[in-house]
Amino acid sequence: MKSFKAILILFFIITALPFRDAAAVDLAGSKDHPLLRRFAGSEIVGYQAKRFEASELQTSTFNRYNLETKKREYVKPPLKPEGRLTRIWYEVPGDTGSLEVFRNYINELTAKGFVILYDSKKDPDAIRWSNYLAPFGSMDIQTSRSNYVFYAAAQNGICVLTAKKSRPEGDIYLHLTVVEWGKDDAVYKSKRGAYVALDIIEMQPMVQKMVTVSADEMAQSLSAVGKVSLYGIYFDPGKWDIKTTSRPALQEIATLLKNKPALKLHVVGHTDNIGGYEVNTVLSKRRAEAVVATLVKEFGISALRLTANGAAYLAPVASNSTEAGRAKNRRVELVPR
């Protein structure tokens, strides 16, 4: 009798789970984000995961899609969080409409402590959606459907929201787009029903992976190209306090100077272009001064051998239009005096 009761309880537990359709066949290598359940009957048809990416999240009415800059334009500037990105496309075939899916996600997000920053169904001006979905067509995402399955969907069925959840280990941002198809379409590989595009951005600083340059390598670079670029000296965004993880790089600079007692250096701070020229001029100079001060105070280097300078973003080594490029531009350079 006890065995029968146990089986019966297990049966009810399994059949009560609303999270996914047992018949759903997800895209190979894809998975749900652990933070959020899927709508019942969905299957994953698109998936992308990046350790660090910059995103653009809507908080106001969409104006237009600029074909020249290939960017969306809004009434208010969008949020631009950076961090771990998980992008999932779900297909919900059948009689389900986009609004039903949208409302379910809002309830789920609210229950999990998210604050809704933008809801297109509460935006009286959310009628200018022409070309809003254009970027979907060029997304670099693994998918078993056409990349245009969102772009070609019915304009009147589009639902969009942006949400945020604050937490000690890093805020989470979420962007949701739901569209609707009235019938199957072989060209776009779509099924009648709804499609969900879910972007989850887990805020976190980019992990620096540049290898510490040794004193000998610094000497070779100074001799060969007249400077050495260092990426092992770390600062928090907008600050000039040197982080403790910078010590190996500072030790190598000190070793270089002790090995070459006649060498005098300009220590030059370089930044990306975020924040404007005046801010970055001050920031780059302060960071260079912090490096000089640390070498003098903690490593016994004479202050007469070091001069701090700030170049802001006037000498980039990569484009400032991408986070990868901006990361390369944030550096400290040593130049012989």
pLDDT of residue 51: 85
pLDDT tens-place string over residues 207-241: 555 568 899 999 999 998 899 999 889 998 889 99
Which residue in this structure is represented by tokens 């302060």?
286
Tell me which of 27-31, 152-156, 160-164, 179-183 is least confident.
152-156
Which band of pLDDT confidence, cut at 50, 70 and 90, is reported for residue 168?
confident
Q: Is the pLDDT of residue 19 over 50?
A: no
pLDDT of residue 169: 78
pLDDT higher at 15 or 79: 79
Backbone angles phi, psi at 62, to 5 degrees: -75, 135
Question: What are the CA-CA distances from residue 256 to residues 105, 211, 267, 295, 300 (Å)?
Answer: 58, 17, 13, 12, 13
What six digits make up the tokens of 179? 């569209």
pLDDT tens-place string over residues 248-275: 999 999 999 999 999 999 999 999 998 8
pLDDT tens-place string over residues 86-95: 999 999 999 9
Domains of the chain by start residue, with CATH: 16-203 (no CATH), 215-336 (3.30.1330.60)
Is the CB of residue 301 less than 8 Å from the CB of residue 254? yes
Amino acid in position 200: I
What six digits make up the tokens of 168? 């000690």
Q: Is the pLDDT of residue 197 over 60?
A: yes
Average pLDDT over residues 280-300: 96
What six digits make up the tokens of 131? 């070309």
CB atoms within 10 A of CB 280: 22
Nearest-5° angle of CA 43, CA 46, CA 51?
120
Is the CB of residue 79 less than 8 Å from the CB of residue 57? yes
Q: Is the pLDDT of residue 2 over 70?
A: no
Tell me which of 8-17, 178-187, 214-223, 249-258 is least confident.
8-17
Is the CB of residue 208 less than 8 Å from the CB of residue 232? yes
Q: Which of 223, 204, 170 is nearest to 50 (CA)?
A: 204
3-state secondary structure the chain: CHHHHHHHHHHHHHHHCCCCCCCCCCCCCCCCCCCCCCCCCCEEEEEEEEEEEECCECCCCEEEEECCCCEEEECCCCECCEEEEEEEEEEEECCCCHHHHHHHHHHHHHHCCCEEEEEHHHCCCCCCCCCCCHHHHHCCCEECCCHHHCCCCCHHHCEEEEEEECCCCCCEEEEEEEEEECCCECCCCECCEEEEEEEEEEECCCCCCCCCCCHHHHHHHHHHHCCEEECCCCECCCCCCECHHHHHHHHHHHHHHHHCCCCCEEEEEECCCCCCHHHHHHHHHHHHHHHHHHHHHHHCCCHHHEEEEECCCCCCCCCCCCHHHHHHHCEEEEEEC
pLDDT tens-place string over residues 132-150: 787 888 788 999 999 899 9
- Report the DSSP pairing between strands 265-270 and 306-310: parallel
pLDDT of residue 80: 87
Question: What are the CA-CA distances from residue 87 to residues 31, 171, 198 (Å)?
Answer: 10, 17, 6
- How far separated are the first and last CA of the chain, in Å rounded? 89
